[in-house]
Structure formats: C-alpha cells, structure tokens
Amino acid sequence: MLRNSYKHVMERKISTKAAVLVFTVGFGAVYLSFFEPFVGIKPTFLQINLRKQKNDTTPANRSATNTHLWKCERDNSVTNISGFNSLPGHLKDFLHYQSCRHFPMLLDLPDKCGGPEGSADVFLLLVIKTLPVNYDRREVLRNTWAKERLQNGVWIRRIFISGTMDSGYEKKKLNRLLKMEQHKYNDILQWDFHDSFFNLTLKQILFLEWMETNCPHVRFLLNGDDDVFANTDNMVVYLQSLPGNNGSKHLFAGDVIYNPGPIRNPHSKYYIPVQVYKSNRYPAYCGGGGFLLSGYSASVIYKMSHSIPLLPIDDVYIAMCLEKAGLHPKPHLGIKTAGLRIPDRKADPYDPCFYRDMLLVHRFLSVNMYVMWQSLHQPHINCSLTTKM
C-alpha cells in the first residue's frame, strides 16, 4: 500500500504461534564454533506487541527540503505497558521513540555511488558507524584500510554514518566539524537523531533506506565500527572468489554467535526486558563490529525491517530481518569481532603476520591501525610459521 503521510500509523499485532524453542543459554554462555551447523528455526518466534508500527514500503523522499515531514512524535501510550515505570531511563526512552524511523538528513552523499545506475560499479562499499566526536578515528581510516581506491580492478568506496551528539553549543560544534570533513572528503551521512548505543538499529535502518535509493546496485558492503582493523585488500580477494555471486545473491558473513538470547540482567549494557522482547531466544547473528554482506542481502534486510519493530541491539535486529526472509549468517574465520587470540603469549600482538590473512579484527585504535596498515604493505613481510594464524 502506498502511503504519503508519515503521521499515519497503524495498530498491529503479531500473533504468536511461537514454537518456543528454548535453545537459549544467554549471552554469557554463547560459544563460538565456526563449524556449528545452523539452527534451522522458522521465524515464528516473534512475540513482540507491535505498537503503532509504520507500514513504510515506499522509499522515502529524502531530499533535504522535505525533512519537516519526518518530525517524529513521542509515543506516550507506551507508559501503559505493564512494568513500564520500573524500566531504566534509556529503555523508557527507547520505547517512547521505537516507532520513529524517519529523521531529517543533515549531511547527504547523493553522488557517492555515481547515482543509482552507476552504483553497480561500486564493488565494495565500506559503511562505517561513527560518532561525531570520533574525528581521529575517521582520519586514520581514511588513510589506511578505508581509502577509496581501485583495488584488484574494482572500486572501494567509503561512507561514515552518524547521528548527532550532545545538545546546544556542543552539538552545533560537532555538527560543524562533520560539515567541514564533508567538504573535504565527501564521505559522511548524518541524520538528526541522538546517536546512542540504543539507537544503532535506527542508524542502520536509516542507512539501508538511503542505500535503496542512492546505491541500490552496490555489489558488496562491509558494515562495521570505526574501531576495527579491516584488511580490505583481503576482503576484495575473498569477495571476488565467491562462486556465482556477484552481489546479486545472498551473502552475510562474519563472526557468528550461535544460540544467543536476550540478557535479562538490568545492570547489563545489553539489558532487554520482556517489555521490549518477549522471546528467550535471538536468531544466530554476526557480531556488529564488522560483517560482509551482498547488496542483495542488504536490500532484503531493509524490506524485512518494515514489518519488524526496532530492537535496540542492532546486530541482533539485522539477524531477525534475515531470519524472516529465511536467510542465515555464515561464519568467516577471518572475521574476529571479539578480538584476536594470539596463540603465543610472548609474541607481539601487533605482529603483522597475525593479520595478513585476516579480514577484520576488533579492536584497533589509531596508532596501531596506522602502523599495521603500513607494515602489511611492506614489499617483504617476513613471517615464520609460528605467526601464521
């Protein structure tokens, strides 16, 4: 159904024919086995009350002049949810704005992919979650793994995605910084929402929506944080070697976490109360520090997101979208979002030999990032067998 007004909202509930498959061992007991067979659970587990879920099936007109249409209203009816008053502030806040999916764009990149048609020439689009204040991280990435370039005959492009931070003068100052960077590098998408941990899903969906209009035919994407080391040279080689997949088929590869479930401990950063998510299981998901996906899968995730209420844990939310489409994440041994375990304790953890075969490692900050990237591009790195991962 085509709709013009974002104010129009609908009431809807998902019936819960939930096959209650309690595989859940909780976040803490998650184990990472790369050869674990996938758990083929059908996506009937959703037990969330969909309050005021919007039915946006048309791509928004995100022209900056139209932004007044998208003003999001605080949903006060959520205070009726049982136990609402005892929830921590950030969760109350999340529930108040759970159905808002449209925010004004502050910085746009309409020509990043050479227009919708030209976007097929972008082989790997690097989509990097950042905060306005992380200027130094962006600067290092621009000079290392996220350089826009022709690699192995194909194009790599870079986009940072951001919301806003702070308020008043500080907010203005940081927005001005991003604007200056945009002027110089043309690599930032920014929307006017408060960029917090619990708004990461929103940021993700805003990006996918933007992509649908501006870069729909991009072949592959790396979706990741601004504190990971990504060996984008290796990524290109890996993606070019996929049999029969030029981006038009499913790919979703990363560090897969199997049999996870929501954390019910109110003191955890990841706390999700039953008021937000009833089921005791999450689908297997790829750690959000970084994962690779095809343009096809990105588009599927976006389409599925229309009918799934936002869950504040972004990587889990994406897995819910995939599951709804009957698709699964795939483990890749070279993606280590929980960090790299170096076998030899005496070894230098930043020996480039540990990283030359990797695709992505969390967590890396400026000095090591820069040195590592340079080291890996020395003409002869001399690696003994012990440092081969």
Ligand X SMILES: *[C@@H]1O[C@H](CO)[C@@H](O)[C@H](O)[C@H]1NC(C)=O
Residue 303 CB, nearest distance to ligand X (Å)? 9
Residues 6+ apart with CB under 8 A from 250: 294, 296, 297, 300, 327
Q: Does 152 bind ligand X (CB under 6 A)?
A: no
Residue 373 backbone dihedrals phi, psi, to 5 degrees: -60, -40
- Report if residue 212 touches ligand X, rule: CB under 6 A: no
94 scored as a contact of ligand X (CB under 6 A): yes
Answer for which of 17, 42, 61, 268 binds ligand X (CB under 6 A) is 61
Q: Which is nearer to ligand X, 111 or 136 (CB)?
A: 111
Q: Is residue 198 near ligand X by the rule CB under 6 A?
A: yes
- What is the DSSP code string of 246-289? SSSS--EEE-EE-S---B--TTSTTB--TTT--SS----EE-TT
Distances (CA, A) of 125 to 235, 300, 363: 11, 17, 21
Q: Measured between alpha carbons, how far is residue 346 from residues 36, 209, 336 in Å?
A: 31, 47, 21
The DSSP bridge pattern shows strands 290-294 and 220-225 to be antiparallel
Q: Which of 17, 20, 57, 367 touches ligand X (CB under 6 A)?
A: 57
Contact 276, 192 (CB under 8 A): no
Q: Chain-centre distance of CA 201, in angstroms? A: 7
Contact assessment for residue 92 and residue 139, using Cβ atoms and an 8 Å cutoff: no
**The one among 13, 34, 77, 374 contacting ligand X by CB under 6 A:** 77
Name the residue nearer to ligand X (CB basis): 23 or 271: 271
Q: How far is the CB of 260 from ligand X (least distance, A)?
A: 21
Distances (CA, A) of 374 to 85, 136, 227, 360, 370: 53, 17, 17, 16, 6
State which of positions 321-380 bind ligand X (CB under 6 A).
Answer: 380
Which parts of 164-193 interact with ligand X (CB under 6 A)?
Answer: 193
Residue 194 in contact with ligand X, rule: CB under 6 A: yes
Span from 14-22, 59-67, 106-114, 332-340 in contact with ligand X (CB under 6 A): 59-67
Nearest residue (CB) to ligand X, 68 versus 345: 68
> Which residues lie across from 89 on neighbouring strands?
none
Site for ligand X (CB under 6 A): which residue of 24, 30, 47, 93? 93
Residues in 216-275 that interact with ligand X by CB under 6 A: 246, 248
| Cα first-last separation, the chain | 52
Q: Which of 4, 15, 65, 85 binds ligand X (CB under 6 A)?
A: 65
How big is the site for ligand X, counted in residues (CB under 6 A)? 25
Query: Reduced to 3 states, what is the DSSP secondary structure of residue 113?
Result: coil
- 155 lies in the site for ligand X, by CB under 6 A: no
State which residue, 47 or 246, has the beta carbon closest to ligand X.
Answer: 246
**Segments in 265-364 forming alpha helices (H):** 295-305, 314-324
Contact status: 45 vs ligand X (CB under 6 A): no
Burial 311-328 (b: 16+ CB within 10 A, else e): bbbbbbbbbbbbbbeebb
- Establish if 196 lies at the interface with ligand X (CB under 6 A): yes
Binding of residue 97 to ligand X (CB under 6 A): yes
Q: Give the residues lining the site for ligand X (CB under 6 A).
A: 1, 10, 55, 57, 61, 63, 65-66, 76-77, 80, 90, 93-94, 97, 120, 193-194, 196, 198-199, 246, 248, 380, 382
